[in-house]
Chain A
Amino acid sequence: MASLFVVASKEFSDIIKGKRFIILLAVFALLMTAAVASTYTSVTQGVSVPRGLPRGFLLSVASGLATMMSYFAPILGIALGVDAVSGEREKGTLKMVLAQPIFRDTLINGKFLGTLLAISLAVSVVSFIEVGGCILALGVIPTGDDAVRLALFILFSILYAMAYYGIAVLISTLSKKTTVSVIASVVIWAAFTFIIPIVASLVAYSTVPIRIQPGQNITGIRPGQEMTPEARQLMEALRARTSIVETINMFTPNYHLTRIAQYILQASVRVGFVGIRTPTQAERAVTIMESLASSWPNILVLALITIFTFIISCTIFTKQEARE
């Protein structure tokens, strides 16, 4: 057990003192500052101040935080995991460490633990820059509910980053060279972030084509209106498209973070069909428990990705021959 903490402590120290971590943190801290400035501008110009809502502050912060986190967390996870095993193997430090009285799984467990701490620190720092910046800029004190929701979102962002770290470590464990590991990890990140969502849309659009003819009566899609058969058909087609897109995107960790952000940070739900939003739609507040109940499948998926990649990496690494 002591060896686990020795490895974790060294890993954490190496990461936070490393150039890679400091540069990433600095870049995203700057981007978060830009997000704060953007939020401030839109609020002071009265463009998107949800004053009528009980959790206006959270909505102001949420958009920038969720968007930034969807890029920062994967990049951070991949950057820290991509050479976790292959880098040590290439440099020869793995041989030196394994010649000491520690089990192979202790090394990988220690790396996970140390990186978890470093990722928690980084995600918290950039989140606090955004939240703190908004508090200072807007002069609004978040409510207790807001604070809990933000804390939960930070927690799930850490989980999201760890899912990507797990994927990167798995690739690093399988790769003999770090360059291969880097390329494979970046390809996977690009697939999850850009390629799969594009493919999902293409599949949905080609599977469910929608053609609105001139003069077609599609009234009734707004609440309070009676729906015409054409409008009902259109609604069904839109639902089918959304369903296809979501089903395909479910295979990406990014989709699950987006859903978690929606449930946790948007503390109100619009009543009625969410595909087409209108200012007149009614809204109702949801409790934190309700948000968690809605987002638990997404949280579970992120947790499972992290746990499975960790277990598989650990199993493969333990079975690898020391000579390799």
Chain B
Amino acid sequence: MEYVIETDGLTKIYRSEGREVLALDHLNLKVKRNSVFGLLGPNGAGKTTLIMTLIGLTLPTSGSAKVLGLDVVKESLKVRRKVGVLPEGAAFYDHLTAEQNLNYIAALNDIPKEARRGRIEEALRVVGLLDVKDRKVGGFSRGMKQRLGIAQALLKDPELLIFDEPTAGLDPEAARAFKDLALKFRDGGKTVMISTHLLFEVGPLCDHVAIINRGRIVVQGNVKELVEKMMAEEGYRIRVWGRGNVGKLVEALANLKGVKDVRLEENYIVINAASDIRTEVSRLAPECGVEVATLELLTPSLEDLFMKYYKWG
């Protein structure tokens, strides 16, 4: 099985007080096994609805979805048995200790009593909470609670982990710890799906992303491929810094074939072209009396990608 998640025309319409809200609009999504997948989108884009549908807690209005080859409507219990989920805004019982909370979750997952203790301790060790297992969760910091949430998702040793807004409200150190864990899970053979609107937090660790807005997947694929696609569509941005007759070089560059725009930005020449014209720039610069110190291709960041497709959505 190449894909752990596959949706086909998945649509969800919420009906409330005579109003209809289209939360998922004929959504087609594929998530590759053994990768870190980023489901990116602004608040209210439909990310949480998609996750709730994928684990069978919300019924789709139309379309279908399979998770680990299981139908999310007909086999929702099996899906939740195999998928570790950290829902957005989920919490633990404050009056119970970390271990008691996990014991309850383990019991709900039918983990045999004799195996529970070992599994709980292992999950707590992975997230670094083993030392505080006997402390009541009410006294935990937000970051610790989030780590406990990850521990509960790990209890069933799932093939697929789904985290909904995992870094929201975390301090930078806790967010970084989460990213390290996500990569560790992927390296351990698991698939990790991260849903977030905080692109800068988790975007860089994603192998594949899908940008969702207004219930639709605007774009999805490998991050590198998407960046290349964007450069092909939007043009290549090349930045030059050098000494000499910069004005002459700017004029010469503007007359080059395929150059859309040339401008000066804080002593740098920034060129927007239809192709990578770095060879032509290095040829023209000495002719214009410019000694080039820096010549670089500005690769669009995931944030640029997000902003472009976010606007499209």
- A: residues with CB less than 8 A from B are 2-3, 6-7, 10, 14, 17-18, 91-93, 95-103, 321-323
Considering the chains assembled together, what is the distance between the CA atoms of A321 and B48 in angstroms?
12
Q: How far is the CA of A98 from the CA of B80 in the complex (A)?
A: 9
**Quick check: is B234 within 8 A (CB to CB) of the other chain?**
no
**B95 near A96: Cβ-Cβ < 8 Å:** no
Number of residue pairs spanning A and B whose beta carbons lie under 8 angstroms apart: 69
Q: Is the CB of B95 within 8 A of A101?
A: no
In whole angstroms, how far apart are the Cα atoms of A102 and B81 in the complex? 9
Residues of B within 8 A of A95 (CB): 87-91
Chain B residues closer than 8 Å to A99, beta-carbon distance: 55, 57, 80, 85-87, 90
B1 in the interface, Cβ–Cβ < 8 Å?
no
Quick one: which of A2, A7, A103 contacts B77, CB cutoff 8 A? A103
B67 to nearest A CB, angstroms? 13
In the bound complex, residues from chain B placing their C-beta under 8 Å from that of A6 are 104, 107-108
Contact A2 B52 (CB under 8 A): no
Closest to A19 in B: B95
Complex CA–CA separation, A2 to B58 (angstroms): 24
Residue of A nearest to B52 (CB): A322
Asked whether, in the complex, the Cβ of A322 is within 8 Å of the Cβ of B58, the reply is: yes
Inter-subunit contact B87/A101 (CB<8 Å): no
Q: Determine the distance from Cα of A92 to Cα of B152 in the docked complex, in whole angstroms.
A: 15
| A93/B93 in contact, CB under 8 A | yes
B105 within 8 A of A: yes
Nearest 6 CB-CB pairings of A with B: A92-B91, A322-B57, A100-B108, A101-B80, A96-B90, A95-B90
Residues of A within 8 A of B93 (CB): 14, 93
Cα A6 to Cα B152 in complex, Å, equals 16
Interface centre among A3, A100, A103 (most CB of B within 10 A): A100
Distance (whole angstroms) from the CB of B215 to the closest CB of chain A: 13
Name the A residues within 8 Å of B81 (CB-CB).
101
In B49-68, the 8 Å CB interface with A consists of 49, 52, 55, 57-58
* Complex contact B52–A100 (CB within 8 A): no
Nearest A residue to B55 via CB reads: A99
Q: A96-B149, A101-B77, A101-B81 are in contact. List 20 more A-B contacts (CB 8 A).
A: A6-B104, A6-B107, A14-B93, A17-B95, A92-B89, A95-B87, A95-B91, A96-B87, A97-B108, A99-B55, A99-B80, A99-B86, A99-B87, A99-B90, A100-B109, A101-B80, A101-B108, A102-B108, A321-B52, A323-B14
Chain A residues with Cβ under 8 A from B109's Cβ?
Answer: 100-101
Known A96-B152, A99-B80, A103-B77: A321·B105 in contact at CB below 8 Å: no
| Given A2-B110, A96-B87, A99-B85: A323 in contact with B77 (beta carbons within 8 A) | no
**Complexed CA–CA distance, A100 and B56 (Å):** 11
- Residue ID in chain A nearest B153 by CB atoms: A99
Report which B residues bind A (CB closer than 8 A): 14, 23, 48-49, 52, 55, 57-58, 77-78, 80-81, 85-95, 104-105, 107-110, 149, 152
Query: Could you tell me the dominant secondary structure of chain B's interface residues?
Result: mixed
Per the bound structure, the CA–CA distance linking A31 and B17 in Å amounts to 47
* A321 and B77 in contact, given A6-B108, A92-B89, A96-B92 (Cβ under 8 angstroms): no
In the complex, A3→B106 CA distance in Å?
10
In the complex, A100→B81 CA distance in Å?
7
Q: Which residue of B lies closest to A106 (CB)?
A: B108
Neighbour of B14 across the interface among A17, A92, A100, A321, CB < 8 A: A321
Q: Which chain B residues border A102 with CB–CB below 8 Å? A: 77, 80, 108
Question: What CA separation (Å) do A7 and B110 show in the bound complex?
Answer: 12
**12 intermolecular pairs with C-beta atoms under 8 Å apart:** A10-B104, A96-B91, A96-B92, A97-B108, A99-B85, A101-B78, A101-B81, A101-B109, A102-B77, A102-B108, A322-B57, A323-B49
Q: Cβ of B108 and Cβ of A323 under 8 Å apart? A: no
Determine the distance from Cα of A54 to Cα of B33 in the docked complex, in whole angstroms. 80
| B152/A101 in contact, CB under 8 A | no
Shortest A15–chain B CB gap in Å is: 12
A101 to B48, CA, bound (A): 18
CA distance A176 to B216 in the complex (A): 29
Min CB–CB distance A78 → chain B (angstroms) = 21
Q: In the assembled complex, which residues on chain B have CB atoms less than 8 Å from the CB atom of A97? A: 108
A98 to chain B, nearest CB (A): 6
Residues in chain B near residue A101, CB distance under 8 A: 77-78, 80-81, 108-110
| Option from B48, B90, B92, B107 in Cβ contact (under 8 Å) with A323 | B48
Chain A residues, Cβ within 8 Å of B80 = 99-102
Alpha-carbon gap, A98 to B79, bound state (A): 12
Which residue from chain A places its CB closest to the CB of B152 in the assembled complex? A96
Contact indicator A98/B57 (Cβ below 8 Å): yes
> With A93-B91, A95-B89, A101-B77 given, is the CB distance from A323 to B52 under 8 Å?
yes
Given the complex of chains A and B, what is the CA–CA distance between A3 and B152 in angstroms? 17
